[in-house]
Amino acid sequence: MPAILSYTKNFYLMEDNEIAEIYKDKIIFYNNNLEEVKKQPKLIDLDASSIEKNGYDDFMLKEINEQTLSVRETIGFKLDNPKVYIENLDFNKEYLSSLNKIYIVACGTAMHAGLATSNTFEKLCKIPTLVDIASEFRYKNPLIDDKTLCIFISQSGETADTIAALKLAKSKGSKTLAISNVIGSSITREADVFIYTHAGPEIAVASTKAYTSQLVLLNILAIHFAEILESSSLNLLNSLKQDILLLPEKIEETLKQSENVKEISKQLYKEKDIFFLGRGIDYSVALEASLKLKEISYIHSEAYASGELKHGPIALIEDGIKVISILTDEDLVAKSVSNIQEVITRGAKTIVVTNQDIDKKIFDYVIKIPKTNKLLSPILSVIPLQLLAYYISKQKGLDVDKPRNLAKSVTVE
Ligand code: M6R
């Protein structure tokens, strides 16, 4: 849609295997059996300026900086009345209490959004929550049934593996909920219910603002379910809501680290390998930061759960290697610092993203971000790491928005 938005806002949405015969003044649609199908155009209310760079060098930098707005838009009024945003299905107490598990399925960054929030569903709703890669889920005969709620996340709503996984879940009797950023996208048309993220069009191949919006939305959904289930205290849920409302201004604050991150990028852009470490929710951010870096800078990077260091990866740590750690969980900070000390002893140079009051002298670089509820911390901690990937790619003179071999929507297997 963004490609022709400056010409029209009226779109005909076609289903799989449909055919269109296009004339100067009319279009005729046919189904698979060559029977004519009547379609009404859908008004897609997007502003053409939202797909301009608006003074930024690249879409990625614009989209990183837009996160204050995209998160605000995604929150909208959903905390007051989430039902309005979940089309078609009433998630009532009887249905939610009958669930044996929630399955979150997606690819790439969208899957990382699932990893960063699965614990929130478990903690608030007391429902076991699994996360899987769509291309794995669809071929492993997953243990799901009508007591499983399957949530599919896709920015584009067109990812072939995610859509195939959704169709499989439906065929096994599970309820399917799609989260997408694109109005009318295929996944929203396939799912039993859907919710939009409202991040605005994301043009750069590397996903940034869609990820933070997915995190916000999944947290809101978990709170909504917990309210229906009465599975968490109102105090806890209300304080989380307050923290969600404060996110836009904290994102604004986090973005002020941009110059600091740019300076750090000058020390890193010649590296061949970079390691990311984190525990718990910070590990999910390490995975996302590593994906972002390799995607647009072509630097090989790996993300490890800090506790796994001793089980293999520490063999790779040698003099001068760069290790980036995320430290936002106050209950785990002491353990993570001790892991970082282990790599320092072996000569690593360390960069730390944290909201904790730690002894800065131990590390080579510290990127400080605002405090928030630990379930929400990825929404802030990922931002300096998105910027780091961006500036490293720029230092290397690469095409940030269109990295080699990658497409924005992966519509084939
Ligand atoms: O449109 P989707 O969210 O389904 O896309 C999934 C992945 O292809 C996508 O997140 C990919 O990993 C991004 N390029 C990451 O930046």
Pocket of ligand 1 contains residue 110 by CB under 6 Å:
yes
Regarding whether 374 and 354 lie in a shared domain, the answer is yes
Residue 126 lies in a domain: yes
DSSP reduced 3-state for 101: strand
Q: List Cβ neighbours of 201 (8 Å cut-off, separation of 6 or more).
A: 2, 46, 50, 51
Q: What is the atom index within ligand 1 of the atom nearest the CA of 187?
A: 4
Q: Which of 245, 271, 300 is the last residue of a domain?
A: 245
The total number of structural domains in the chain stands at 3
Residue 174 pLDDT > 70, yes or no?
A: yes
Which of 32-36, 116-120, 216-220, 407-411 is least confident? 407-411
75 and 193 together in one domain: yes
Q: Tell me 360's DSSP state.
A: G
Same domain, 21 and 76: no
* Same domain membership, residue 78 and residue 41: no
Average predicted confidence (pLDDT) for the chain? 93
Residues 60, 42, single domain; the answer is: no
| Confidence at residue 46, expressed as pLDDT on a 0 to 100 scale | 76
Given a cut of 80, whether residue 84 has pLDDT beyond it is: no
Q: C-alpha distances in angstroms, 242 versus 193, 223, 246, 248, 260? A: 27, 12, 6, 12, 29
**How far apart are the CA of 16 and the centre of ligand 1, in A?**
21
**Measured from the CA of 162, which atom of ligand 1 is nearest?**
4
Question: At which of 15, 32, 49 does a domain end?
Answer: 49
Is residue 410 included in any domain, yes or no? no
Distance 160 CA to ligand 1 centre (A): 11
Are residues 357 and 272 part of one domain?
yes
Residue 87: predicted pLDDT: 61
Percent of the chain with pLDDT over 70: 99
Same-domain status, 284 and 218: no
- How far is ligand 1, taken at its centre, from the CA of residue 91, in Å? 28
Q: Are residues 113 and 174 in the same domain?
A: yes
Q: Whose CA is nearest to atom 9 of ligand 1?
A: 108
**Can you read off the two tokens belonging to residue 243?**
């923290």
What's residue 261's pLDDT?
Answer: 97
Task: Tell me if 114 is assigned to some domain.
Answer: yes
The one-character DSSP state at 376 is: T
CA distance 270 to 189: 45
Inform me whether the pLDDT recorded for 6 exceeds 90: no
Q: How far is the CA of 325 from the centre of ligand 1 (A)?
A: 23
Whether residues 119 and 230 share a domain: the answer is yes
- Same domain as 316, residue 279: yes
Average pLDDT over residues 57-66: 96
- DSSP tag of 122: H
Q: Which mutation among 181, 207, 217 tests ligand 1's pocket best, with the greatest number of atoms within 8 A of CB?
A: 207
Lowest mean pLDDT segment, chosen from 79-88, 144-153, 275-284:
79-88
What HEC string does 16-67 produce?
CCCEEEECCCCEEEECCCCCEECCCCEECCCCHHHHCCCCCCCHHHHHHHCH
Give the mean model confidence (pLDDT) for residues 88-109.
92
Lowest mean pLDDT, pick from 20-34, 42-56, 225-239, 346-360:
42-56
User: Once rounded to an integer, what is the mean pLDDT over residues 369-380?
Assistant: 97
Which atom belonging to ligand 1 lies closest to the Cα atom of 211?
10
Choice from 59, 109, 218 to test ligand 1 binding pocket (greatest atom count within 8 A of CB): 109
Mutating to test ligand 1, I would choose from 1, 63, 159 the residue with most ligand atoms within 8 A of its C-beta, which is 159
Token readout for 306 is 């800090």
> Is the domain of 124 the same as that of 25?
no
Model-level pTM? 0.93
Q: Which domain holds residue 328?
A: 256-395
The domain that holds 311 is classified in CATH as 3.40.50.10490
Residues 209 and 323 in one domain: no
Among 225, 245, 265, residue at a domain's last position: 245
